[in-house]
Structure 1
């Protein structure tokens, strides 16, 4: 399969990219972002794209893909709803609508967050905006759309978050995260599990279009014979 990754320099995106490059059935991976990933691999193609709301004139770069893993996300802390909507909903949908027109056979996987509100009526701003984004994606004419709503994610393989506050948190929590995962194996995911689950969503589909941590954990496992 040919895979497109948005947000490959973020914590989740790094994990997804690593799993894609290691997967025998992935022939080519193209990343799209404002900065290069710094990775070197024969499968990897990188498109450094400064204007993430505009994809005019690059149809050829965005065509011929079986899957898109959309891993771009920002914290809503200190933002107005208008700004958060622009950085979350508008950015995602501008890319997704272009991809749906060019690749109707594509499976689109969107990394959202636990608490996103599908009713779009939550009193919490980010929950409404994420829910609105999810609903719009589910209505697009892809072969399949899957919404991932993970909670806590443990970074593995030297992966680090780009967000300073998250880096501090994961540094402080590093000694106890393995213990928490042992106690709550279906609630705390790893970056590797996220990547494997996304690939398996393309390979064999999923039972639900919206997946929480337990469903993502289950999907990350190898298929039963």
Structure 2
């Protein structure tokens, strides 16, 4: 199966890692990046749209058809935010983009980066987890061919990439210990990227993928 994918958030650590793996995999035929700022990536598979306002896609809608995958890696930290602000930049923004893509590409598989500890009940004490849970639930109701929610925990960065979060450089030594003692919480960024790609090409039996599911799908 040939994959034509849209990636958001490619200037962040996770998005860059997913893009990197897409460029290595022969089944990924083309990648469209939608970024607020240029990624600096030049590759025969890659085209890029610089677009500042993800709440208004009307001016670029004509360029968003003909894709069968979206890897939605765009996100913000909840640190220092009130719930309504975080919800606007997480739930509202993601759903606006997703609803547009579902309308334009009904055969699309949509992959969303959530996080370990996301609250599917939307009722828990953790603000970010409630908002992420609401976002997941809404995405799974949209008329995509399939929608997968990825919940990574600690991720070992892909070597050589430029957008690795600074703190990972200082705690990377924890990875082999954590993977051995608590495999349900530790994966590599490469495994997450491969799992997202394979969710399109081979599918998965669950719509919500915890860390163990991510590692399992990456090996298939």
Q: TM-score range by the shorter chain?
A: over 0.9
**1:182 Cα deviation (Å)?**
4.2
Query: Aligned residues, how many?
Result: 218
TM-align CA RMSD: 1.4
Deviation of 1:100 (Å): 0.3
Measured against aligned partners, the alpha-carbon deviations of 1:132-163 in whole angstroms (never above 9, x if no partner) come to 1111100000000000011111101223546x
Select 1:129's aligned residue among 128, 131, 138. Answer: 131
Aligned to 1:2: 4
The match for 2:46 among 35, 44, 47 is 44
- Residues 68-107 of structure 1 mapped to structure 2, 5 A cutoff: 68-107=70-109
Cα 1:179–1:123, aligned 2, differ >3 Å: closer, same or farther? closer
Cα deviation for residue 52 of structure 1 reads: 1.4
Gaps of 5+ in 2: none
- In structure 2, the residue matched to 1:221 is 219
Correspondent of 1:18 among 20, 30, 34: 20
TM-score (norm 1): 0.92
Corresponding position: 1:187 with 2:189: no
Listed as ranges, the gaps of 5+ residues in structure 1 are none
1-side partners of 2:33 and 2:173: how far apart? Answer: 32
Find the residue that maps to 1:32 and give its secondary structure.
strand
Encode CA deviations 1:149-192: one digit per residue, 9 max, x unaligned: 11111101223546xxx41x212112332343344445311111
- Deviating above 6 A after TM superposition, structure 1's stretches of 4 or more consecutive aligned residues are none
- Write the distance in 1 (CA, Å) between the matches of 2:135 and 2:162: 26
Matched with 1:171 is 169
Q: Which residue of 2 aligns with 1:142?
A: 144
What's 2:68 paired with?
A: 66
1:116 positional shift: 1.2
CA drift at 1:2: 0.6
Tell me the distance in 2 between the aligned counterparts of 1:41 and 1:186.
35
CA distance in 1, matches of 2:180, 2:130: 32
1:157 is matched with 159
Looking at structure 1, the residues matched to 12 and 121 of structure 2 have their Cα atoms a distance apart, in angstroms, of: 28
Q: Given that residues 124 and 130 in structure 2 are in contact (C-alpha distance below 8 angstroms), is that contact kept between their aligned partners in structure 1?
A: yes
Aligned residue for 1:130, secondary structure, equals: helix
CA contact (8 A) 1:33 1:52 kept: no
Q: Is the 8 A contact 2:7 2:73 kept in 1?
A: yes
Q: Do the aligned residues in 1 keep the contact of 2:16 with 2:163 (CA within 8 Å)?
A: no
